[in-house]
């Protein structure tokens, strides 16, 4: 046997490198031969092979009986049973002796890899209707033509299903050969595109025993992922599920997603045995989508007769591989038709005899022939454009069948229920792909309800904490200040005696998880200074810890390397500064209004007096008299309107309108002034030169921060404070000392720290207070490694704590609000600015403006009526004299008292 393998390998190498030379003797047939020989390599005893054998023979018969193709040329099919790669080589070479132009098969992707070099050397296309290995479409195998859907698309569909249900990790159980490994590699690539991953790979021997399967599944149980993708052969799939059932792996804690092998088994061998039927309940599987058509219905109606014709004692159903096998024959027939139309003929070249003898073995290879038209036929195959039982058949530029799509099947009871479809163009959908090809892509992906293992409709969580005795290593900052958040009394490396606000939240959230966890706290830090939280997070990312619990502020930098839970407390950076009592001074009454508002108010008062004087001067005696008296009247009237005590009365309609609008403005401004002045006198008692983060940015005074917190990096990196201005402080006493010294005596002007910690700091220190508003919005959460599903479950638990009130009770237990917190409102009484009243002043100004326009319009019209008409318009020399006296006359008219229009 070893000698035979050596000679076969030598033959393959020589064929591949072109070392056989044509002897000059060839066999040539006419362009339209009466008969064309084709071969088929199948595994008769397999689920796929027994169906494909019937389907291929039916297709050959249909082609030979059809007058619409090959113009009288008949196909001669020769089928051979193949169970191994070695037999595949032998049988492929045997076909070469009978001058075949193409081979349908091999059925197995593994055998296809083995015989691919023979096919390439002999220029014979291999049309594999069952070779789904993603690598078979590569340039490495030019003469292998997959005529079925590639596993690359099946794995994309599975990845979309995983992403749709929100799962992030899967376990892949697969046959450890080229078919299984290459399929799982494609699955991993597709999952990565959707931010998911294969957390554990469980390869099974290509010829497994029960013990082999059991050993692999034991390892799968110990992993945390409960999303299991089973990618194997039909002859082993049910066996694996049977062992899984004995290990209680088919309950509602697991999700099983089987590749297309399961639908092929059920479609072919249904009904299954009672045990097998129980084992497949709730499983999600896929089936290549083949649209409903009349030819397909007709073929399915013929199927039982075709099976009985092949074997009277046989009875099995039709699976999708049978449909693709049938279409493969028609693809070849159409390609041959095009091949003959292009002038191709059936010709073969003989190769020189290779004689090699070792022992008593002789090999005679003189009968091996190479198909001269192999490249032309291969090109014709890839140009086929037809409609078959599986739908529209055409190859794209990557040598894949166009429009790959799958039915997503849920096995329930004795039936297969379609819960949705997957298409390379539209993704997941509840509508068949052929209904959406002419429409824009449907981005609202969804599936129908699924009955999961355990007969539940609730979507499984998809993971559990691994039952492998592992103890979670929880990193905890060993703080020396603000131990209300976390405090570890035990100084040993591992301890469970930590307490504090963060610890209570963490343990309360753990109690809400549907599974138990073993954990131990590992204090981080020297116990003398607060540790740097960034160092703790980096240790988590490197795998030193399994989680970090404490007052961990969630920042962008940290979120890039680890996953955080839902924040259990909202917070942010604030400015703390010392305050002192501020006594009222003699000019406190000016404080309610800004200087700009004072100026606008004064100008408006004067403008009002002038406008009222203009409107009332001609007929109101109170606004007449000597120039000195009129100025005094205007000023007094204007100022007295502020207090509503003016003695003069407006007689004109326009004057009364203007005065009414102005009194409304006075009412609003005066009321606001009174309220603001009262607040200043009764509330504003404290003062500080620091107004907030903005005033610190304008000054050059030093700023304090807590050593080890993220405040330093934020102030330096985000707000660009120079490090020379940033002073690290260790504890509350250092805070107090630095603030009381002040920047001139070696202290700091203010301290920037987290709001939650500052509230604790201010609890008993009323000589300090928060200045300004929070200038960042952060939260505190627990940190886990990237991709850890614990982060999601803990987030859900924290939300439950918030909803039932436990989170607030824990907060009140450890972090009581400051008694001096209300001082923040005493420090800031906003001055009234022009922006709050500009609308009122604008309204008053417009009233004055339109009143003056209307008044002067009426005045001009009255003046024109009183002037006599011109006597002689031709006398131009006196025009300029008349124009010079016109204005004088008009102003004289304006000064006169008008007794007739007092009410206008």
Q: Any idea what the CATH number is for the domain that residue 104 is in?
A: 3.40.50.2300
Residue 819 lies in a domain: no
Decide if pLDDT at 849 tops 50. Answer: yes
Residue 755 lies in a domain: yes
CA atoms of 697 and 687, how far apart (whole Å): 19
* CA–centroid distance for 165 within its chain: 13
- The model scores a pTM over 0.95: no
**Token reading at 276:** 């097998």
Same domain, 286 and 414: yes
Residue 120 lies in a domain: yes
Question: What angle, rounded to 10 degrees, do the helices at 47-65 and 234-246 form?
Answer: 150
Query: For position 603, which CATH number holds?
Result: 1.10.287
* Phi/psi of residue 711, nearest 5 degrees: -60, -40
* Pair 697, 744: CB distance under 8 Å: no
Alpha carbon separation from 711 to 108, 555, 697, 723 (Å, rounded): 63, 11, 15, 12
Question: Among 103-107, 559-563, 880-884, where is mean pLDDT lowest?
Answer: 880-884
The predicted pLDDT at position 160 comes to 94
Alpha carbon separation from 228 to 164, 235, 255, 282, 458 (Å, rounded): 15, 19, 6, 13, 17
Residues forming a β-bridge with 751: 576, 704
pLDDT digits (tens, 9 = 90+) for 511-565: 888 777 888 999 998 878 888 889 999 999 998 999 999 888 888 889 999 999 9
Same domain, 409 and 552: no
Same domain, 666 and 701: no
3-class SS letters over 253-285: CCEEEECCHHHHHHHHHCCCCHHHHHHCCCCEE
**Spatial CB neighbours of 856, under 8 Å, sequence gap ≥ 6:** none
Q: Which domain holds residue 740?
A: 687-776
pLDDT bracket for residue 875 (50, 70, 90):
very low
Residue 724 lies in a domain: yes
Decide if pLDDT at 587 tops 70. Answer: no
Strands 347-351 and 369-371: antiparallel
The predicted pLDDT at position 574 comes to 87
Residue 841 lies in a domain: no
Same domain, 705 and 604: no
Same domain, 165 and 284: yes
Task: Please list the alpha-helical segments (H only) found in 126-272.
Answer: 151-164, 178-193, 210-221, 234-246, 261-269
Rg (CA), the chain: 46
**Spatial CB neighbours of 513, under 8 Å, sequence gap ≥ 6:** 793, 794, 797
**Token reading at 164:** 């749709």
Average pLDDT over residues 205-214: 92
**Token reading at 715:** 């102030």
Question: Among 466-475, 502-511, 637-646, 663-672, where is mean pLDDT lowest?
Answer: 637-646
CA atoms of 118 and 141, how far apart (whole Å): 11
Q: Quick one: which of 244, 253, 247 has its CA closest to 280?
A: 244
The predicted pLDDT at position 733 comes to 84
Highest mean pLDDT among 17-31, 34-48, 843-857: 34-48
* DSSP class of 460: P
More confident residue, 241 or 578: 241
Same domain, 271 and 416: yes
CA atoms of 766 and 854, how far apart (whole Å): 62
322 three-state secondary structure: helix
Cα three-residue angle 253-257-262, rounded to 5 degrees: 125
The predicted pLDDT at position 369 comes to 75
Decide if pLDDT at 387 tops 90. Answer: yes
Residue 123 lies in a domain: yes
Question: Among 128-142, 173-187, 270-284, 597-611, where is mean pLDDT lowest?
Answer: 597-611
CA atoms of 729 and 6, how far apart (whole Å): 79
Question: Among 381-395, 605-619, 836-850, where is mean pLDDT lowest?
Answer: 605-619
Same domain, 537 and 425: no
pLDDT bracket for residue 205 (50, 70, 90):
very high
**To 10 degrees, the CA torsion angle through 228, 234, 239, 240?**
-20
Same domain, 530 and 612: no
**Token reading at 85:** 């790669």
Same domain, 409 and 551: no
355: part of which helix (H) or strand (E)?
none
Decide if pLDDT at 136 tops 90. Answer: no
Decide if pLDDT at 471 tops 50. Answer: yes
The predicted pLDDT at position 17 comes to 41
CA atoms of 105 and 88, how far apart (whole Å): 10
* Pair 73, 35: CB distance under 8 Å: yes
* CA–centroid distance for 898 within its chain: 81
Per cent of the chain over pLDDT 70 is 79
Residue 467 lies in a domain: no
**Token reading at 403:** 């429009």
Per cent of the chain over pLDDT 90 is 33
Residue at which a domain ends, from 682, 700, 730: 682
Q: How many helices (H) and strands (E) does the chain have?
A: 28, 36
Highest mean pLDDT among 378-392, 477-491, 565-579, 802-816: 378-392
Residues forming a β-bridge with 415: 412
* Pair 826, 685: CB distance under 8 Å: yes
CB atoms within 10 A of CB 518: 9
Q: Quick one: which of 568, 120, 74, 129 has its CA closest to 320?
A: 129
Residue at which a domain ends, from 663, 682, 701: 682
- Number of folded domains that form the chain: 5
**To 10 degrees, the CA torsion angle through 764, 769, 775, 781?**
0
Q: Quick one: which of 169, 801, 782 has its CA closest to 460?
A: 169
Q: Map tokens 């979309």 to a residue.
A: 160
pLDDT digits (tens, 9 = 90+) for 157-170: 999 999 999 888 89
Average pLDDT over residues 125-143: 85
Secondary structure (DSSP) of 394-421? EB-TTSPBSS-EEEEEEEETTEEEEEEE
* Pair 778, 559: CB distance under 8 Å: no
CA atoms of 331 and 336, how far apart (whole Å): 9
CA atoms of 384 and 330, how far apart (whole Å): 10
Decide if pLDDT at 873 tops 90. Answer: no
More confident residue, 520 or 685: 520
pLDDT digits (tens, 9 = 90+) for 412-464: 988 899 999 999 888 899 989 888 766 655 555 689 999 999 889 988 988 87
* Pair 589, 783: CB distance under 8 Å: no
pLDDT digits (tens, 9 = 90+) for 305-349: 999 998 888 889 999 999 999 999 999 999 999 999 888 888 888
The predicted pLDDT at position 825 comes to 43
Half-sphere exposure for 64 (CA within 13 Å, toward CB): 15
CA atoms of 726 and 715, how far apart (whole Å): 8
Torsion sign across C-alpha atoms 501, 504, 507, 508: negative
CA atoms of 433 and 431, how far apart (whole Å): 6
Same domain, 343 and 223: no
Query: For position 755, which CATH number holds?
Result: 3.40.190.10
Decide if pLDDT at 682 tops 90. Answer: no
SS3 content of the chain, % helix, strand, coil (to 5): 45, 20, 35
Residue 318 lies in a domain: yes
* Phi/psi of residue 489, nearest 5 degrees: -70, -30
Same domain, 430 and 537: no
* Pair 736, 536: CB distance under 8 Å: no
**Token reading at 580:** 């002192």
* Phi/psi of residue 615, nearest 5 degrees: -70, -25
Q: Quick one: which of 172, 457, 412, 451 has its CA closest to 280?
A: 412
Average pLDDT over residues 847-860: 79
CB atoms within 10 A of CB 516: 10
CA atoms of 790 and 465, how far apart (whole Å): 8
Same domain, 279 and 245: yes
* Pair 369, 362: CB distance under 8 Å: no
* Pair 187, 173: CB distance under 8 Å: no
Average pLDDT over residues 582-603: 72
| Averaged pLDDT score across all residues of the chain | 81
């Amino acid at each position: 046997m070893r000698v035979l393998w050596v000679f076969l390998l030598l033959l393959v190498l020589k064929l591949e490198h072109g070392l056989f030379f044509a002897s000059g003797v060839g066999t040539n047939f006419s362009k339209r031969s009466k008969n064309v020989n084709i071969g088929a390599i199948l595994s008769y005893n397999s689920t796929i092979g027994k169906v494909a054998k019937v389907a291929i023979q039916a297709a050959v018969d249909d082609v030979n009986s059809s007058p619409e193709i090959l113009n009288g040329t008949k196909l001669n099919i020769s089928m051979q049973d193949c169970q191994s790669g070695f037999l595949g080589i032998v049988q492929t070479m045997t076909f070469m002796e009978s001058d075949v132009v193409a081979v349908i098969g091999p059925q197995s992707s593994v055998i296809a890899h083995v015989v691919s070099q023979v096919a390439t050397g002999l220029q014979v296309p291999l049309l594999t209707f069952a070779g789904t290995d993603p690598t078979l479409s590569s340039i490495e195998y030019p003469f292998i033509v997959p005529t079925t859907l590639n596993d690359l698309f099946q794995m994309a569909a599975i990845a979309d299903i995983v992403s749709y249900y929100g799962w992030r990790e899967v376990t892949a159980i697969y046959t450890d050969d080229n078919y299984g490994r290459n399929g799982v590699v494609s699955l991993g690539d597709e999952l990565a595109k959707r931010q998911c991953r294969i957390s554990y790979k469980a390869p099974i021997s290509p010829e497994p025993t029960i013990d082999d399967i059991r050993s692999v599944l034991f390892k799968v149980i110990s992993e945390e992922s409960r999303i299991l993708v089973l990618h194997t052969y039909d002859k082993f799939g049910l066996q694996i599920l049977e062992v899984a059932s004995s290990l209680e792996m088919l309950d509602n804690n697991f999700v099983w997603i089987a590749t297309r092998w399961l639908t092929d088994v059920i479609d072919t061998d249904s009904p299954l045995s009672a045990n097998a039927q129980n084992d497949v309940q709730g499983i999600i599987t896929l089936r290549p989508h083949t649209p409903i058509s009349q030819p397909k219905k007709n073929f399915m109606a013929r199927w039982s007769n075709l099976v009985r014709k092949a074997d009277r004692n046989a009875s099995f159903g039709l699976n999708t591989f049978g449909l693709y096998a049938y279409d493969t024959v028609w693809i070849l027939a159409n390609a041959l038709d095009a091949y003959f139309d292009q002038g191709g003929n059936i010709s073969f070249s003989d190769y020189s005899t290779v004689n090699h003898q070792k022992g008593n073995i002789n090999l005679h290879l003189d009968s091996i022939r190479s198909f001269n038209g192999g490249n032309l036929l291969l090109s014709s195959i890839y140009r086929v454009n037809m409609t078959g039982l599986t739908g529209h058949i055409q190859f794209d530029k990557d040598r894949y069948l166009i429009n790959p799509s799958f039915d997503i099947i849920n096995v329930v009871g004795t039936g297969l229920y379609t819960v949705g479809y997957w298409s390379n163009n539209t993704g997941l959908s509840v509508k068949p792909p052929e209904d959406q090809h002419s429409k824009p892509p449907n981005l609202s992906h969804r599936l129908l309800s699924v009955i999961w293992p355990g007969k539940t409709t609730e979507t499984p969580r998809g993971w559990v904490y691994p039952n492998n005795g592992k103890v979670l290593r929880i990193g905890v900052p060993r703080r020396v200040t603000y131990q209300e958040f976390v405090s570890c009394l035990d100084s040993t490396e591992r301890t469970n005696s930590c307490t504090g606000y963060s610890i209570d939240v963490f343990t309360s959230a753990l109690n809400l998880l549907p599974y138990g966890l073993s954990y131990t706290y590992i204090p981080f830090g020297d116990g003398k200074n607060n540790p740097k939280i960034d160092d703790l997070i980096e240790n988590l990312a490197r795998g030193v810890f399994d989680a970090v619990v404490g007052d961990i502020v969630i920042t962008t930098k940290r979120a890039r390397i680890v996953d955080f839970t839902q924040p259990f407390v909202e917070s942010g950076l604030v400015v703390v500064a010392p305050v002192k009592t501020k006594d009222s001074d003699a000019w406190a009454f000016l404080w309610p209004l800004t200087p700009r508002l004072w100026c606008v108010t004064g100008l408006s008062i004067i403008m009002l007096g002038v406008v009222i004087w203009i409107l009332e001067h001609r007929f109101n005696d109170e606004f007449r008299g000597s120039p000195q008296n009129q100025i005094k009247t205007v000023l007094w009237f204007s100022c007295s309107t502020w207090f509503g005590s003016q003695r003069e009365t407006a007689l004109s309609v326009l004057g009364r309108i203007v005065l009414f609008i102005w009194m409304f403005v006075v009412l609003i401004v005066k009321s606001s002034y009174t309220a603001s002045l009262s607040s200043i006198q009764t509330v504003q008692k404290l003062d500080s030169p620091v107004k907030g983060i903005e005033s610190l940015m304008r000054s050059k005074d030093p700023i304090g921060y807590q050593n080890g917190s993220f405040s330093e990096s934020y102030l330096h990196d985000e707000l660009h404070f120079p490090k020379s201005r940033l002073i690290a402080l260790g504890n509350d006493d250092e805070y107090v000392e630095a603030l009381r010294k002040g920047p001139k005596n070696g202290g700091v002007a203010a301290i920037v720290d987290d709001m939650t910690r500052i509230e604790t700091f201010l609890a008993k220190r009323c000589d300090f207070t928060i200045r300004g508003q929070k200038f960042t919005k952060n939260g505190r959460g627990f940190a886990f490694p990237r991709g850890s599903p614990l982060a999601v479950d803990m987030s859900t638990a924290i939300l439950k704590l918030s909803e039932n009130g436990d989170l607030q009770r824990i907060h009140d237990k450890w972090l009581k609000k400051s008694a001096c917190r209300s001082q923040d409102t005493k420090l800031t009484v906003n001055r009234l600015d022009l922006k709050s009243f500009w609308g009122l002043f604008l309204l008053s100004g417009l009233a004055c403006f339109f009143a003056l326009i209307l008044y002067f319009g009426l005045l001009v019209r009255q003046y024109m009526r009183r002037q006599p008409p011109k006597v002689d318009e031709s006398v131009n020399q006196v025009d300029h004299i008349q124009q010079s006296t016109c204005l004088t006359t008009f102003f004289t008219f304006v000064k006169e008292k008008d007794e007739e229009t007092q009410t206008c």
